[in-house]
Every structure is written in structure tokens, then in C-alpha cells.
Amino acid sequence: MRAQPSGGVPILRLGDVLITGLLNELDDKAARAFTDELTDRIASDHARGVLIDISRLEMVDSFVARMLMEMTSMARLLGARVIVAGMRPAVAITLVELGLGLDGVETALNTEQGIAALGWYQAPRPPEGARHDPTG
């Protein structure tokens, strides 16, 4: 299974959902390679959903915002539902100030909520010390 494109940003597969993230350090060339890899993976893996975690982005500029919009647009054109998760308040404020409200992009407060919105959930852990009886 491929996990890391040449641009250095991992793209993980969880069933029919791809999970990836954005970092501040992406330059133009790495961003293009990442976008190309993501769109290729959506098509080849028949992904029905993509979660893009941006919780590591401490700030955003017009380049990063444009790249995010392009990625989400391409993914949707390929038939994948896209959710951007983990946006920090400062990033949201900057996007609005730049006039880039990411119209049409679904968001979630964190990765867990984004995964749940795409149809995945994590079963609750049993209480500490509880025993599991597989017979019911």
C-alpha cells in the first residue's frame, strides 16, 4: 500500500476514505506533486471520501488557501466527498480576511468528527478493568 507521495505528505487509506494533511512547508513544486498524487489516489483507490487534516497549519496565506480550494474542487469533481478538519481559529480568521471562505467545503472541528461525518466511527472503549465476553 502506498502511503507517502514524493512530496512527503502521507496519504493513508481507511476503507474507501483517504486521509491526508497539509503542512506550512509545502512549496509550489511539492504542493503540485501532492495535489497530483491525491487526485491519482482518489481515482485509483475509488475513494468516496477524503479527509484533509489542517490542524498543523498555524497560519495560511493565499497560496495555501488556493491549493486547498483546488484540491477540494478536484476531489469533488472525481466524485469524492471532502472534509477539511482541524482548522485553527487564526486560520479561519485569516481565510475570511483574505476573502477565501472556502465556499462549498465541508469542515469538521477535528479528525475524529471528520471521519465520523464520512461514515466511520470508533467504538467506545470499555471501562477500565471491564472484561469482554465474546459470547454476549
- Confidence bin at 5 (pLDDT 50/70/90): very low
Q: What is the CATH number of the domain that holds 72?
A: 3.30.750.24
Position 6 in a domain: no
Position 23 in a domain: yes
Report CA 31 to chain centroid distance, whole Å: 14
CB within 8 A of 52, min separation 6: which ones?
A: 20, 21, 22, 68, 71, 72, 82, 83, 84, 85
pLDDT at 4: 45
Position 127 in a domain: no
- pLDDT of 124 strictly over 70: no
Position 124 in a domain: no
Position 107 in a domain: yes
Position 16 in a domain: yes
Share of the chain above pLDDT 70, in %: 82
Q: What is the pTM of this model?
A: 0.79
pLDDT tens digits for range 35-90: 999 999 999 999 999 999 999 988 888 888 888 888 899 999 999 999 999 999 99
The 3-state secondary structure of 53-87, one letter per residue: ECCCCCCCCHHHHHHHHHHHHHHHHCCCEEEEECC
The domain in which residue 30 lies consists of 11-117
Query: For the chain, how many structural domains are there in total?
Result: 1
Q: What is the mean pLDDT of the chain?
A: 84
Position 135 in a domain: no
Position 57 in a domain: yes
